Structure 1
């Protein structure tokens, strides 16, 4: 049930604001009906791209103008990132890499890994709306089990996630204001923070943009001695009960993303959203993946990119990301590069 976007989408009706979106599940405005009505919708009328519909060919072509230096910066951490601390994250097994001999001088290798154990995109099969027990566009568990619907192959078949990237460097902004950023205390980055950062960076977002948020969590993880990490992540807290820095699960942030036609979001933090989430209002995962169909990136390596952006005093770039072509895929390594 592929859904390849072959042309800039054309609405058959006015694009609703976030406040105007219907709520098939109370409290969760959904864009599915709107995208189902577009010419880009698949023949069965069931959109599978969500907010990637915003990332049109015209916008990708325009994003190429961001390439001024021809310098590529890889944004993926190693696949074995959590090899020493896998029990802290639900027991996700680290990547197993086996080198195989083929004759005397030939070599092949085999990989086995959990897509959540390093830099990744969360696909639309990863989380639905828990309150309604449905995935994006009303897809049921039975539909997921019986088909490849909402799989990450839909992204790959459309040519990946390629367009204008924007770095929102919270860490540099906060430290510049004198804040000691504690990345394991549930610090919630609000919309007010985001707008202040963009103003400080003199950065303007455009329709179709992919936003990358640097929180500092991955820097902390990769620069902290293993024993100290283990004591905090595996001993001081039970697995799954940590308080991680991330974006605030607030309705105003969701409205801002939709109303500005943001295509996808990613961060260098564990869950994108701050954890634990608020007692009311739900997780960003439910709102973004389940209601808006917006890809979520986690654990992206943004350190080198941040340094180069600060040096260039420019926080926009051409972004290319090609998820693995796995039919029915739930998530994928980002395979992302920023080109300045």
Structure 2
């Protein structure tokens, strides 16, 4: 889909409409407040340690209709303002070379998945703040051209837990949140009340802004310049609730950043301080409809990243089961 320049949002200045800007000093104090360093062994599974066998059993009890809702966007090979590094897909075998039966057809795929176009999981090696990965590990010593020796996605494995959809446009009675709109702690509490859910220990929290629907109706724009997402003041609430995973139809951060000198403060707080992996660029439209149809916004969530030793994350297709 091509973008219409007249529909592209005008990025507000940092802090505009989102409350006062946050200073670097205030952000560092917030980082110390929510960090969980030294809490778990092995440390590079981070908050996924919160998902015990009992929590998995409790999550499976949420399955009633058996409706399965995948949440990955299609593999995106088209360049655009929100896809500067398109994925590759080409055929490597068309079955047109003489060979014993049966003929085979093969293809090749490749992707630089961290960005705004591919549904993916950020592992704990993806983000360092002030030179330190989660648990205070030195990034320069543990990550090199061969990959990550701490916090790799291969350390995480699959996650099966309770998912909670915070469908903010549904709560607001709108189609989407406009790019640049910050979601504050009070917005999360209001959404819990409206949707009759309470975020709890070991939950995976998914934030729907409706950005994908906006893109489908109005065209693509540069989400690095403006996107709806969480303000940093929401992270202490999520830390207090003890979440295991955070994600959404954006990359969780409101943009422009409200923090002076920190371009992705929610990434820094969630991953580097709290040990909470992130799910970016999900398609939550079908899940929104399914939850509205059932009147419940909790479900069984299954996330199975690729087993990539040294990887900083993985393309992924999370699945909700209602």
- Given the two structures, how large is their TM-score scaled by the length of structure 2? 0.81
Q: CA deviation at 1:208?
A: 0.7
TM-superposed CA distance for 1:134, in Å, is: 1.0
Q: Is the 8 A contact 1:249 1:277 kept in 2?
A: no
Relative distance call for 1:68 and 1:276 in structure 2 (3 A) is: same
1:101 matched to 2:94: yes
* 2:291 corresponds to: 309
CA distance in 2, matches of 1:181, 1:52: 30
Structure 2, unpaired ranges of 5+ = 1-27
Where does residue 3 of structure 1 map in the other structure?
none
Q: Does residue 209 in structure 1 map to residue 214 in structure 2?
A: no
Structure 1 position 279, deviation (Å): 3.1
CA contact (8 A) 1:122 1:297 kept: yes
Match of 2:245 among 254, 259, 264: 264
**What do residues 141-194 of structure 1 show as CA deviations (whole Å, max 9, x unaligned)?**
2212275321100112xxx011110111001112x2xx674532x100111111
Partner of 2:230: 247
Deviations along 1:70-128, one digit per CA (max 9) or x if unpaired, are: 11111101121x6241x545x32333343423546211221111222311111111111
What stretches of structure 1 of length at least 5 have no aligned partner? 1-24, 36-40, 234-238
SS in 1 for 2:268: helix
| Aligned positions, number | 282
**How far has the Cα of 1:334 moved from its partner?**
2.3
Hey, what's the Cα distance between the residues in 2 that align with 1:339 and 1:329? 27
Q: Give the root-mean-square deviation of aligned CA atoms.
A: 2.2
Aligned equivalent of 1:11: none
Cross-structure match for 1:73: 69
Shift of 1:205: 2.1
Cα shift readout 1:236-276 (whole Å, capped 9, x = no counterpart): xxx84x111111122xx22211211110111001x211011
Deviation at 1:328, TM superposition (A): 0.9
Aligned residues of 1:100 and 1:110 also touching (Cα < 8 A): no
Task: Give the deviation of 1:298 after TM superposition.
Answer: 1.2
In 2 relative to 1, CA 319–88 (structure 1 residues): closer, same or farther, beyond 3 Å? Answer: closer
- Please give the secondary structure, in 1, of the residue aligned with 2:31: coil
